[in-house]
Every structure is written in structure tokens, then in C-alpha cells.
Chains A and B, each alone.
Chain A
Amino acid sequence: MSALIVADRLRRSFHISHRAGFLRRRRTEVVAVDAVSFTVQRGEAVGYVGPNGAGKSTTIKMLTGILTPSSGGATVCGLDPAKDRRALAARIGVVFGQRSQLWWDLPLSESFELLRSIFRVPKDSYQERLDECVELLELTPFLATPVRQLSLGQRMRGEVTAALLHDPELLVLDEPTIGLDLESKERLRAFLADLNQRGTTLLLTTHDLDDIERLCGRLMVIDHGRVLADGPLAELRAEVVTERTLVVDLTEPHPPLTGLPGVREVRTELDGLRQHLVFGRSDTTAAALISALVDRVAVHDVSVAEPEIEELIRRLYKRTTVPDAMTDL
């Protein structure tokens, strides 16, 4: 494995001037990205998450060369994005969930042809890529439709194809599933997961944590311009989350199942037909709990719910100080 992206104390601040009185203006400095360092290896799939204004898009812009860093630097595909923007553009693909790279009044297929010409993709490798995307993303029904008439889901599939035509080493996706319906999201995720399997490095920013769950082996959490946590999803979860939940479906309604060993909290649903038993990771195991349960009531079904990824991130935010080791996993 080799490093595809190296961000070295990447920092970006903006000057915002606002009215202070009738004519006076005051300038304040806002730090959008504060000395962020990380490395992405070839073939990884990294989720870059954080609330609005956390600095995600600013980082992406610096990594793609649209924005020059205030200080620090980055190397992407061995190039300096700020200096070699156009050379880099030929080697990466970028998908913005809310900006189109397609021509709104042209059929999708013609937009692809234009991009082939813009990125100077040889005919056969273009055709190979296109056929693959058309098949996997099921583009055939609307290849001849003008982009403005496509549904959002169809358009996004077109956008992803457009970003892949020149066979980029790295695919950067900025909120790729925003506004999509569930089916479109799932289809897109399956495609991206497959793409990553076959070697394309993925870096995606998202609000939708299902994207991360489904796609990303690694999670980077950013807030206020700083990386709060960086590591494999499972590891972060084990480290931060100390509670698990056993969801029990009973054959008939029952009052809350209190008093089981190791259970800290009980919530009921459907008049007690379904009960959520929250237990400490270190206090007991799911197996022990289940055997204790079946002694008391008739159980229809059980499942262990891992805490929602939202919860995971919420807890990460709660930790006020971030050990240095964490940012450099």
C-alpha cells in the first residue's frame, strides 16, 4: 500500500467582514480547517463526517486544488493540488451532491461524450468504463434523456459515471446521497462499495451515516476544523461506546422486564410486546442475558442493536480533549 493523500497540517482561515454601524466594517478571521493532518492509503474508503460548517468541504476543496491552503500542505496522487490543479484533475474524479458536472440540456450520453473529449480519454477505455457503469448503475433507460428531465437519483448515477470515465485513482464524493430516496441511496452505495473493492480509493463527506456504515472502513470525524477521531469504525465504536442494547420481541405483552443482571435501562414498545434492554458491555454478555430472559418469559425473537452511528459521533464530540495519538491513527 502507498499513500494517495497526505494532508500535512492543512489549515485554512477566511476573513469575513460584516457591517458594524452604517459604513464601518469589521473583519474577523474564521478558521475553517485547523491544522488537519492525515494520510489515506491507496485502496482505502474513508468517510469524512462532521456537522455543517465543520470544515469538510473546505478540506475537500484544498485537496482538489480549488482552494489554496492558508498554511500547511497536501499531496494527492503525488501532486501538489494548489500548484498542479489541472494535472490532478485528470487523475481524480469529483462528485458534488449539489453541483452538476453534466450539461442540463443535453442527453446524458452526450454529456459523457463531451467529458471524454475534455478528459481526453482513449475511445476503447472510455467505452469499457461506460459500459460497466451503464450496466451496474442501470443507466440504459435514460441515457438519451436530457439531464434536466432526470430524477435526482438518476442524475446522481449519471454524475458518478461522469466522474469515473477517465478512470480516476481517487474518487472524491461531497454529500453524494443528499436528497436521494432510499432505493437510490442503496443502489449507489452498492456500486461504490464494489468500485472500492476493485481498487479505487474513496473519500466521501456525508451527513448520512448509513453511507459510512455501508461503505467506509475508516471514519474521520471533524468539528470546528479539527479532527476529533480517526480510525476503523469498529474500533471507534468499541472505544467510545460502553453500552449495547438487546431488543426482545415477546409472544405477548409484558410489563417492563426489570431486575435482570447487568441491565441498566429498560424501554418498552407496543404495550410491552417489544422491549429494549440496555446493558453495560463489561457487566454482562448478550448470551447470558438471553438465557436469563427465557427463564422468565416466552421470547419470540431477539436481536442485538449496536448503538446508532449518530450516537457514536455524538459521544465523540462529547469528549472535550482529543489525545494526539487519536488524530494520527
Chain B
Amino acid sequence: MADRVYLDILGSRFRAQLSYRTSFLLDFAAQMVGQASELVVILVLFGRAKEMGGFAMHEVLIMYGIAGVGFGLADLFVGQLDELPRLIRTGQLDVLLLRPLSTLAQVATGDIQLRRLGRIIAALAVLVTVLSTSDIHWTGPKLLLAATAPLVGAVIFGAIWVVACSVCFWIVDGRELANTVTYGSNMFTSYPITVYPPWLRRFLAFVIPGAFVAYYPALALLDRPDPLGAPAFLSWCSPLVAVAAVAVAGLVWRFAVRHYQGTGS
């Protein structure tokens, strides 16, 4: 029943956005170009190096692809949280609070941006191409992993997004800080974590669980042991990390909304 409500909201969003066809197509193309420009960077870098952090180009591209699709999906479904400071400033959040629905789900579905499919499609195209041309020993579990890794990655990114944007309930200029975490995580996860210095790696890979988005799933797909010595089973743990991240994000969001109701700022 509740799901139908959100489907109705989503459906209306889609209709509204598709009615501005030219600007939609332009925005859609811009999203693809945005994702493609990250690809260009990786290609340029591999024009100057045979490997990065011990990984060959196709291996890095698998990470880039998983991270790109995951980030794109998260951006599509919770990217609207970036608008939170505006919703708070204009009082529009109060309107959402006055409806008998989850506030978070309303913010997410309220103005979902279909153009973000552009990024997802671009990343997916790269991921499929690289996976099908790489020399991967495919097994059932690995096929399942390849299919679910971007989705699990999206959930982890989504949780990061929710936590980062919750900051906006306390800090007026929180949007840029939140973007640093979300877009920063996207950049971080597109490369093997072995390229980063240890302290940065520890923070971005495990405190913000960025390593579980693309790095560990890619290791499992490639049958590679972790050069940093993590046990092999960690490569299959991303779904568990995603569940934990969602739980944390849910708690943080509840706390943040409570705080908002407590201050009304």
C-alpha cells in the first residue's frame, strides 16, 4: 500500500520531466558526459602508466564501472537530499512533515531527477563492456556478485548520502560538506584503495565504507587476493556492510529530524 504511494509520486515526476523534452535530453547528455569524463581521466592516466596501485586498466575499469552505476543509482534515488538546505530554508520541509508518510522517502521521491539515468547508463555500458572482454572465470556466485554489486554499492552510497546530508540540519552551509563526502566517495571508490596513503585509505575505506562498494567485489570477480592482506571472505561481505550502513543512516536521519523538530531552525 505504502509502496503504491511512492510509485504514484514517482510516476508523476517522470511525466512532468519528460514534458520538457529538449532540456531533459540536454541534462541527460550532460550526465553521460560527466560520467564519461571520469572514464577519460582513467584512460589518460593509463596512457602514462601500466598499472595503478598494482591493478591493470581493465581491473580499475571494473571498479570504476561498479562505483559509477552504484553512485548513479544512489544519486537517482537519494540525490534530492542535496536540496535539503533549500527545503529547510523555504519551510517546504514542514509541508512534508505534515503528511502521513516517511519524510525521508518523500524527500527522495519528491523531485527525483530522471536525467540521472544518463550517468547510470554510461557507467553500465563501460561495466558490461569491461566484464565481457576481461578474462574472468565466471561461476554462478560471481555472476550473482556482478549483477548485485552495483545495487549493493548504491545502497552503501545511499546510506553515506543520508548521513552526510543530515549534517544540513545543523550547519546552514552543509551542502558543500555533504557533497564532499558523497562526490568524494564516488571518486575514492573508482580507484583501487591501494593507491591511497594508509591513513586516508583507512578513513575512506572503512569509516565511510567506500572499499565495499567496488574494490572488494572487484577483487572477488578477478579472483585476486587483496594486496593489503585482507581475508578473502571480505570480498563477499558488501551486502552485510550495506545493511549495517542503512541501519546507521536510519538512526542518524531519525536523530536529525528529531533535532529539527527540537530547534525548528
Contacts and interface: CB of A to CB of B under 8 A. Distances in A.
Interface of A: 12, 14, 58, 61, 64-68, 82, 85-87, 89-90, 92, 94, 96, 98-101, 103, 105-106, 110, 113-114, 117-120
B100 A99 contact: no
Contact of B91 (A12, A99, A106): A99
B101 interface: yes
Interface stretch (B1-9, B40-48, B55-63, B201-209): B1-9
B12 A66 contact: no
Interface string B93-105: 0110111110000
A13 to B, nearest CB: 11
Interface stretch (B133-141, B224-232, B247-255, B257-265): B257-265
A66 B9 contact: no
Contacts of A98: 91
Nearest to A15: B263
Contacts of B91: 96, 98-99
A67 B94 CA distance: 9
Contacts of A68: 261-262
B4 A105 contact: no
B96 to A, nearest CB: 9
Given A66-B261, A89-B99, A119-B100, A106 B94 contact: no
Contact of B264 (A58, A106, A113): A58
A67 B95 CA distance: 13
B99 A118 contact: yes
A66 B94 contact: yes
Contacts of A117: 4-5, 8-9
Contact of A89 (B9, B15, B98): B98
Contacts of B99: 86, 89, 118-119
B264 A66 contact: yes
A14 B264 CA distance: 9
B92 interface: yes
B12 A87 contact: no
7 contacts: A14-B265, A67-B261, A89-B97, A101-B95, A101-B98, A105-B19, A120-B1
Contacts of B92: 99-100
Contacts of B5: 117-118, 120
A326 B264 CA distance: 30
Given A82-B261, A117-B5, A119-B100, A103 B16 contact: yes
B12 A110 contact: yes
